[in-house]
């Protein structure tokens, strides 16, 4: 009997009460990290949004008609429902970039080891990164969740803000951040892979972004555009390649340039240069042509836009874009110079438009060919030379060329100027969309706000226009 009691006790002792304290802590994943980690990750994601041409996410190279597809032509024909491109781009911007930036801000604010000056600078840089991202979202969709966005559980159904309101608020935030950063001091250091924590360069980035936005709104609010452009130029924009915002993509996965992933790693042959691009660039003797395009077909022959194209028969995208570590330009000297040109041509600021135009094109040639020596001859051609009487055509065409493969800016430029002429997509017979459609899921999970935004914009359709888009289109 004693033995039995012993055994009984043994059983009972194995079944002891547990208060489960600490059981909800995951030993393999951190509950808190340094804000630096999140900022570095967000920069990678920002750059990927510009350079990723995955047909599931960013079809901007086809919005700008730089490229077209070979066999599977849904995206070139602007079908964005099947693969939910609107959702995939939106999700990446909100969850990979904006959510991490907001969280980094919180962590930095709570970090007792940082000086007030560092906190202010780091926060200001994050604000500029957020502004860049929100500005892209407005340009792509129009109305977007902004004032109620990134609030997690406290607001599961954020309202969509009017696109012009978002721009106006971003102007204020950029100005404030730039003013903070002008005070100098240290910020992120190495965790900032774009500028290495150089606050002076971030000031130029902020002003260039402000100038980009000022130029965008000049057809709808010239007064505001004038003020903003003037402030940006006075405070200093990007003036050299050294000041360009370029993300250093790596030569080994997973942090490679996503364009390499799309063109090479995938093993697919989905893209050729479109006839839209070849037809504009080929006659211009452009020194960048050999960088932008391969010479697999002589002379260059672009695939008819939106048609089924035999890969072997048409011009392939330049080998530079097949490089794993091709630089992830987010806002470059060439673009900044074009923005200045546009601001002058539009009368927002004073200056010599032609000189600025030449500077912009030269900057682009320098960047892509490694030398500016061929720029003068190129600029001297009557087809290229700045035409003050038809500056929209000059700037519209040349900026579009300079933005090659950076589809999101090329597409925005085309929406501003409606140059060069684009093709109607061969199979769908659709013109170039004026915006992306919202994520497929939004109508289901944020229905009321989605409906309000869609109806205010004239429908969640490809033909609705972002507030600054007053171009005529084709």
Partner 1 sequence: MKTKFNGILTLLLAFMVQMTFAQERTISGTVSDETGPLPGVSVLVDGTTRGTETNFDGQYTITANVGQVLRFSFLGMTSTTRTVGAENVINVTMTSGENTLDEVVVTALGIEREKKSLGYATQEVSGDKVNTAKDPNFVNGLSGKVAGLDVKSSGTMGGSANVIIRGYSSLTGNNQALFVIDGVPVDNSNTNSGNQRTGRGGYDYGNGATDINPDDIESLNVLKGGAATALYGSRAANGVIVITTKKGQDRGSKGIGVTVSSSITFNKFNKETMAEYQKEYGAGYGPYYEDDSGYFLLRDVNGDGIDDLTTPSTEDASYGAAFDPNLLVYQWDSWFPQLDTYQQARPWVAGKNDPTTYFELGHTYFNTVAIDGATEKGYFKLGYSNMNQEGILPNSEIIRDNVDFGGSYALTDKFTASIQGSYIKTKGKGRYGTGYSSQNPMQSMRQWWQTNVDVQEQKAAYFQTRENITWNTSDAHLDLSPIYSDNPYWTRYENYNTDGRDRIIGNVALDYKIADWVSVLGRVSLDNYNEIQEERININSSDVSNYQRFNRSYNENNYDIMFNFNKDITENFNLLSTVGYNVRRTSVSSIFASTNGGLNLPGLYSLENSANPITAPTENESKVGVDGIFATASLGFANTLYLEGSVRQDKFSTLPRDNDTALYWGASGSFVFSSLFGNNNVMSLGKLRAGYAVTGNGAPAYSVSNTYTLGTPIAGQPTADLPGQNNNPDLKPEASEEFEVGLEMAFFKNRLGFDVSYYDKTSIDLITPLTISTATGFTSQVLNAGEMTNKGYEVSGWVSPIKTNDFEWRIDVNWAQNENEVTKLPSDLQNILLASVQGGITINARLGQPYGTIEGTNFVYTDGQKTVNSTSTVGSRIGKYLISPTTEVLGSFQPDWKGGINNTFTYKSVRFSFLVDMQKGGEVFSLDQWYGQATGIYPESVGLNDLGNPVRNTVANGGGVILPGVKQDGTPNDLRASMDNYLNAYGYARNPNAAHVYDAGYIKLREISLGYTLPQEWFGGDKGVIDGMTFTAIGRNLWIIDKDVPYADPEAGLSSGNVQGNQSGVYPSTKDYGFSVKIQF
**CA gap 195, 204 in Å, rounded:** 11
Q: Which of the stretches 29-37, 169-177, 281-289, 371-379 binds partner 1 when contact is defined by CB under 8 A?
A: 29-37
Work out which of 119, 241, 268, 393 binds partner 1, going by CB under 8 A: 268
Work out which of 17, 113, 298, 472 binds partner 1, going by CB under 8 A: 17
- Where do we find the tokens 């066999």? 71
Site for partner 1, residues 184 to 213, rule: CB under 8 A: 190-191, 193
271-273 and 67-69 as β-strands: parallel, antiparallel, unpaired? antiparallel
Binding mask 434-453 for partner 1 (x = CB under 8 A): -----xxxxxxxxxx-----
Site for partner 1, residues 298 to 327, rule: CB under 8 A: 307-313
**CA gap 152, 443 in Å, rounded:** 19
Residue 402: CA count within 13 A, CB half-sphere: 31
- 223 Cβ neighbours under 8 A, 6+ residues apart: none
**CA gap 220, 212 in Å, rounded:** 14
Q: At closest approach, how far in Å is the CB of 37 from partner 1?
A: 4
Are 224 and 217 a contacting pair, CB within 8 Å?
yes
Site for partner 1, residues 52 to 81, rule: CB under 8 A: 70-71, 74, 81
With binding defined as CB under 8 A, does residue 31 bind partner 1? yes
Q: At closest approach, how far in Å is the CB of 3 from partner 1?
A: 9
Q: At closest approach, how far in Å is the CB of 150 from partner 1?
A: 4
Binding mask 90-129 for partner 1 (x = CB under 8 A): xx--xxx-xxx-xx--------------------------
Work out which of 248, 290, 351, 431 binds partner 1, going by CB under 8 A: 248
With binding defined as CB under 8 A, does residue 9 bind partner 1? no
Which letter does DSSP use for residue 190 in this model? G
Q: At closest approach, how far in Å is the CB of 189 from partner 1?
A: 10
Q: Which of the stretches 33-41, 228-236, 334-342, 364-372 binds partner 1 when contact is defined by CB under 8 A?
A: 33-41
With binding defined as CB under 8 A, does residue 456 bind partner 1? no
Which letter does DSSP use for residue 390 in this model? G
With binding defined as CB under 8 A, does residue 83 bind partner 1? yes
Question: Of 354, 388, 221, which is closest to residue 213 (Cα–Cα)?
Answer: 221
Binding mask 402-431 for partner 1 (x = CB under 8 A): -------------------------xxx--
Cβ-based burial of 18 (10 A; exposed 0-12, middle 13-18, buried ≥19): exposed
75-89 b/e (C-beta count within 10 Å ≥ 16 → b): bbbbbbeebbbbbbb
How does DSSP assign 119-140, residue by residue? HHHHHHHHHHHHHHHHHHHHHH
Q: At closest approach, how far in Å is the CB of 145 from partner 1?
A: 4
């Amino acid at each position: 009997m004693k033995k039995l009691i012993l055994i009984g006790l043994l059983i009972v002792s194995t079944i002891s009460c547990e208060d489960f304290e600490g059981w909800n802590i995951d030993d393999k994943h951190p509950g808190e990290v340094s804000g630096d980690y999140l900022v570095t990750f967000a920069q990678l994601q920002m750059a990927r949004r510009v350079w990723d041409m995955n047909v599931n996410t960013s079809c901007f190279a086809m919005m700008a008609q730089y490229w077209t597809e070979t066999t599977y032509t849904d995206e070139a024909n602007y079908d964005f429902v099947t693969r939910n491109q609107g959702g995939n781009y939106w999700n990446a911007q909100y969850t990979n970039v904006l959510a991490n930036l907001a969280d980094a801000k919180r962590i930095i604010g709570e970090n007792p080891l940082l000086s007030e000056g560092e906190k202010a600078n780091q926060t200001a840089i994050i604000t500029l990164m957020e502004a860049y991202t929100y500005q892209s979202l407005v340009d792509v969709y129009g109305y977007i969740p902004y004032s109620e966005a990134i609030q997690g559980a406290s607001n599961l159904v954020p309202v969509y803000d009017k696109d012009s309101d978002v721009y106006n608020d971003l102007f204020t935030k950029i100005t404030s951040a730039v003013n903070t950063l002008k005070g100098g001091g240290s910020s992120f250091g190495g965790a900032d892979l774009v500028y290495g924590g150089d606050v002076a360069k971030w000031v130029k980035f902020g002003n260039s972004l402000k100038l980009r936005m000022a130029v965008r709104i000049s057809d709808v609010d010239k007064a505001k555009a004038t003020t903003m452009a003037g402030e940006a130029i006075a405070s200093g924009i990007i003036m050299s390649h050294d000041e360009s915002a370029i993300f250093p993509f790596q030569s080994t996965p997973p942090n490679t340039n996503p364009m390499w992933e799309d063109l090479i790693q995938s093993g697919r042959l989905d893209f050729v240069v479109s006839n839209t691009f070849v037809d504009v660039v080929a006659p211009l003797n452009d020194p960048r042509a050999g960088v932008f395009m391969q010479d697999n077909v002589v002379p260059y022959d672009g695939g008819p836009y939106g048609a089924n194209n035999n890969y072997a028969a048409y011009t392939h995208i330049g080998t530079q874009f097949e490089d794993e570590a091709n630089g992830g330009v987010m806002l470059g000297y060439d673009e900044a110079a074009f923005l200045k040109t546009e601001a002058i041509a539009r009368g927002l600021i004073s200056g010599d438009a032609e000189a600025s135009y030449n500077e912009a094109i030269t900057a682009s040639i320098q960047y892509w060919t490694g030398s500016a020596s061929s720029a003068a001859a190129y600029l001297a051609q009557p087809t290229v030379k700045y035409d003050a009487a038809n500056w929209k055509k000059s700037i519209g065409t040349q900026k579009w060329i300079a933005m090659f493969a950076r589809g999101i800016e090329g597409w925005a430029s085309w929406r501003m100027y409606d140059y060069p002429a684009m093709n109607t997509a061969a199979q769908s017979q659709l013109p170039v969309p004026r915006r992306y459609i919202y994520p497929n899921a939004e109508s289901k999970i944020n229905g009321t706000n989605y409906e309000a935004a869609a109806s205010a914009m004239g429908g969640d359709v490809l033909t609705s226009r972002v507030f600054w888009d007053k171009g005529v289109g084709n």
